[in-house]
Amino acid sequence: MEFVVITGMSGAGKSQAMKVMEDMGYYCMDNLPPALLSKFAELTYKSNNEIKKVAIVVDIRGGQFFESLFASLEELKAMGISYKILFLDSSDDTLIKRYKELRRPHPLKPDGNLVEGIKEERQMLQKVKGRSDFILDTTKFNLGMLKEEMMKIFLQGEQSSKLSISVTSFGFKHGVLLDGDLIFDVRFINNPYYIPELKEFSGLEKKVKDYVFSWPQTQIFISKTMELVEFLIPHYITEGKTQLVIGIGCTGGKHRSVAIAEEIGELLKQNDHRVMVSHRDL
């Protein structure tokens, strides 16, 4: 029997993740008290093979989280039931934005102090995050991206040792990409903005891409950047890094950075990396 424990930060997408698991044929249970984890596993295990895949959402809504969760996981191990832990995370700014959009209080701070609630929850979840088999940062994810990543993990069997790589274009005039691990400035490439027939289009359009990649320095930049990133990836994995954010910046974030981010993302995918491409200022 496949047994998956879904946990992570409140607002990081656990409910959506459970829906994705249901679509993949898992029997799902939301907000199960950790103390009941082994009992539920026992019931499903004895279901005459009717239930073969189970996903449980367990989080701080269950009360005394750590004490009962880890004890229950040890009980699962003693029963001979193997499990995987999927941890969903997101940046503090994104979590605050999501809470404000939904107009809901943080479960740890019903008085409405979101910042303190998120800080406290992150400290509480540090240990379980360290024991997780898969960690997904949903900061830049929409539902389609989340589904794609989860299908890669649970249907295509990707290894947890692989980095989740986010390649993001941005415009320096709107501010540098604050969560970028590697930031590349591509303003040295001729700007399509000053070409009248290209100005109104973006780096997603073939005519803009062709212009950006018509310069020899662009090809050299792509080659050297890929060489550097491929060199760094195994070292990041050894260090324990699970998420790598690569920022590609130009002036406005519309032409050069978009075209180059798309190209780098595609090359990384061809090299069998887990990659998401996004465009902050497009």
For position 66, what pLDDT does the model report? Answer: 59
Distance of CA 11 to the CA centre of its chain: 13
Q: Cα separation of 228 and 217, whole Å?
A: 16
For position 173, what pLDDT does the model report? Answer: 95
Q: Return the structure tokens found at 211.
A: 């212009």
For position 264, what pLDDT does the model report? Answer: 97
CATH 3.40.50.300 domain position(s) in the chain = 2-154
Residue type, 213: F
For position 169, what pLDDT does the model report? Answer: 96
Q: Cα separation of 46 and 246, whole Å?
A: 47
All residues at 6 or more sequence positions from 110 whose CB lies less than 8 Å from its CB, including other chains = none
Collapsing DSSP to helix, strand or coil, 163 comes out as coil
DSSP string, 260-274: HHHHHHHHHHHTT-E
Cα–Cα distances (Å) from 127 to 7, 122, 191, 239, in that order, read 12, 10, 47, 17
Confidence class of residue 172 from pLDDT cuts 50, 70 and 90?
Answer: very high
For position 161, what pLDDT does the model report? Answer: 46
For position 60, what pLDDT does the model report? Answer: 79
For position 175, what pLDDT does the model report? Answer: 94
For position 162, what pLDDT does the model report? Answer: 61
Average pLDDT over residues 203-229: 97
Confidence class of residue 114 from pLDDT cuts 50, 70 and 90?
Answer: confident
Quick: pLDDT tens for 55-73: 999 887 765 555 678 888 8
Residue type, 262: E
Angle at which helices 256-270 and 216-239 cross, to 10°: 50
Stronger pLDDT, 134 or 260, i.e. the higher one: 260
Strands 84-89 and 134-137, sheet pairing: parallel
Across all residues in the chain, what is the average pLDDT?
A: 87
Stronger pLDDT, 131 or 102, i.e. the higher one: 131
CB 57 within 8 A of CB 6: yes
Cα-flanking dihedrals φ and ψ of residue 73, to 5°? Answer: -65, -35
Average pLDDT over residues 166-172: 94
Percent of the chain with pLDDT over 70: 94
For position 200, what pLDDT does the model report? Answer: 95
Which helix (H) or strand (E) segment is 126 a member of? helix 126-130
Quick: pLDDT tens for 93-107: 888 888 888 777 787
In the chain the first and final C-alpha atoms are separated, in Å, by: 45
On the question of pLDDT at 160 being above 70, the answer is no
Stronger pLDDT, 42 or 167, i.e. the higher one: 167
For position 64, what pLDDT does the model report? Answer: 57
Question: Per CATH, the architecture of 2-154 is what?
Answer: 3-Layer(aba) Sandwich (3.40)
Q: Cα separation of 180 and 184, whole Å?
A: 10
On the question of pLDDT at 238 being above 50, the answer is yes
Nearest to 114 by CA among 101, 96, 126: 96
